[in-house]
Structure 1
Amino acid sequence: MLLDEHAPLRNRVMIKFAFTGGFRRGELLAIDETDLFFDTNEVRIDESLQYTKKKGYRFKDPKSNSFRKVTMPPDVIQEAAILLREIKKNKLLLGELWRGIDKLLLFGGDMGQPQYPTSPNTWWQRFTKRHNIKPGRLHDMRHSHATMLINQIGKVPGLNIKAISQRLGHANVQTTLNIYTHANRESDILVANAINNILKTGTF
């Protein structure tokens, strides 16, 4: 996979977390060692990283107080474990040069400090441009995650709008339903385009 071959481990794991966990950017940047539960393949979301010129970096409650635990694919969690080991090794090597705070951040900077909130998105845009991938924002991974799950309703037993809404940390189910409506609209446009192509080519 292109992402595995050319992306640094930290960025690779972050992109996979964004896509398979549907996390907000600030939530991703706030994940620390204590939020990872390797025995159950879960990630706890209890904070979000924010930066302002006035107050600098600060950790706050996630949007809409959406405290939750999200179950992740085992392979993705195992990559996070490898990344965490690399971070700890780097911390030992840097010694007094380590700039980390009281949290061992999974997606911190090279020297342990919190990442500037726009940095992951800047990296992703450069990566997609360099490898001729359709450009987009890191937040689009969250939308793709939601749409992917919504399209599985009726196919996966027990999967419903409420379960998806809780996983995404939406304030209410209506927010998720709005995405559902948007996803259905996009699907309907694709179907209409396909029908139009059939009419033009006469391939009935």
Structure 2
Amino acid sequence: MITVQWERYPLVDQHPEGRRWLQFTANIGRAWNTVDAYGRAVDDHLAFCLTIGTSPEAARPDVVAAWIGDMHQRPNRNGGVGLANSTIQVRIIGVRSFYDFLVEEGIRERNPVRRGQSSRRGGQARQGLVRRVEKAPWIPNDHAWDRILRACEHEPVRNRLMVTFAYDGALRREELVSLEPGDLEPAWSLIHLRAETTKSKRAREVSFGTTSAQLLVAYLRQRGELFGRVDSGLFLSESRRNRGEPLGRSSWSKIVTGVAKRAEVPQLSTHTFRHLRLTDLARAGWSIDEIAQYAGHRDLSTTLKYIHLSGRELAAKLHKATRSLQADRERRLAALVEAW
């Protein structure tokens, strides 16, 4: 049985069916991030149900709508009002999964969380409860990237290697912190990602560059001096409390947050390195299929979200494509000058 961190979801832990559902979700092999997001979503929904004096077993669609309205009105961490659209979407999906479980168990007859539906035979598509807002991930420009790298210069060699690996391999947070020494093939500059550590549950290989290779040599030497021969995680904690233990997801997030503050680039996140790498592969002329394979995506539509060419590059492409047309336009517009 997979261990669930119940302290993160106290209301789910106290709800018998909620606890069974989340444990079931973890046991069938969902990624830790998915289990965590679903657990927090249902914990939030249970808290709202308690506030208005109802329960998931009796909640009707209007209760779900009121919960969504509450999320739209809450203060957010940026000082504004309303949770982010992506946060609300994830919470709705998690709560819908919970109600699906209640229906399957015969505890409810219907799921009160309505699904969206695609159009059929040219008909109108049915919208879900909340319209999805698709925002392009933030990609650092050259100036911001230089500031990020300068901030990283002050990090220990372990953290610098994590940054270069995260970029080179377009690694997700879970994939990065789950690396073990045996996953590396230095002679070919390859990282072997085990299926159990990837979101898609598919093994794949990615490469790393010269800088990563040099940092790897330095880090392995330092790692050996500090901890001796350790065959568990590649990146080990140096803190007193967890000394010698594999570095966790939250620790990597804290490292990146510190870099973001020193670089004065608040948009930087652990996923930024992945976004930038996949975008750079598109800039280098890789096909969508090649990028999808490198990223470990099952669906090409997901890959498309990671390919965001900068406005400068788009302008250059536009200028090149319309050069002859623009010359003709300029020739015709010149008549306005001659009219003087």
* TM-score normalised per structure 1: 0.71
Aligned partner of 1:13 in structure 2 is 161
Aligned partner of 1:130 in structure 2 is 262
Alignment CA distance shift 1:42-1:188 (3 Å): same
Q: Aligned partners of 1:163 and 1:131: how far apart in 2? A: 32
What runs of 5+ residues in structure 2 fail to find an aligned partner?
Answer: 1-148, 316-340
Shift in Å, 1:115: 1.9
Aligned partner of 2:150 in structure 1 is 2
Aligned partner of 2:192 in structure 1 is 44
| Partner SS, residue 63 of structure 1 | coil
Q: Does 1:78 align with 2:205?
A: no
Q: Aligned partners of 1:61 and 1:75: how far apart in 2? A: 24
Tell me if the contact between 2:179 and 2:235 (Cα under 8 Å) persists in the aligned partners: yes
Q: Aligned partners of 2:256 and 2:291: how far apart in 1? A: 25
Q: Does 1:148 align with 2:280?
A: yes
1:103-156 CA distances to partner (integer Å, 9 max, x unpaired)? 1x2222122212231211212112221232454111111111111111222xxx
Tell me if the contact between 2:260 and 2:266 (Cα under 8 Å) persists in the aligned partners: yes
| Partner SS, residue 187 of structure 2 | coil
What runs of 5+ residues in structure 1 fail to find an aligned partner?
Answer: 48-59, 154-158, 192-204
Q: Aligned partners of 1:136 and 1:190: how far apart in 2? A: 23
Question: 5 Å matches for 1:1-204?
Answer: 2-3=150-151, 5-46=153-194, 60-92=196-228, 103=232, 105-110=233-238, 111-153=243-285, 159-180=286-307, 183-184=308-309, 187=311, 191=315
| Partner SS, residue 227 of structure 2 | helix
**Percent identity among equivalent residues?**
28
Query: What CA RMSD, in Å, does the superposition of the two structures yield over aligned residues?
Result: 2.6
Q: Aligned partners of 1:86 and 1:152: how far apart in 2? A: 35
* TM-score normalised per structure 2: 0.44
Shift in Å, 1:8: 0.8
Shift in Å, 1:190: 7.6
Q: Aligned partners of 1:25 and 1:178: how far apart in 2? A: 18
4+ aligned runs moved over 6 Å, structure 1: none
Tell me if the contact between 1:18 and 1:28 (Cα under 8 Å) persists in the aligned partners: yes
Tell me if the contact between 2:282 and 2:291 (Cα under 8 Å) persists in the aligned partners: yes
Alignment CA distance shift 1:134-1:148 (3 Å): farther
Alignment CA distance shift 1:134-1:35 (3 Å): same
Query: Which protein, 1 or 2, shows the higher relative CO under an 8 Å CA cutoff with sep ≥ 6?
Result: 1
Alignment CA distance shift 1:189-1:73 (3 Å): closer
| Partner SS, residue 149 of structure 1 | helix
Bigger radius of gyration: 2
Amino acid at match of 1:177: L
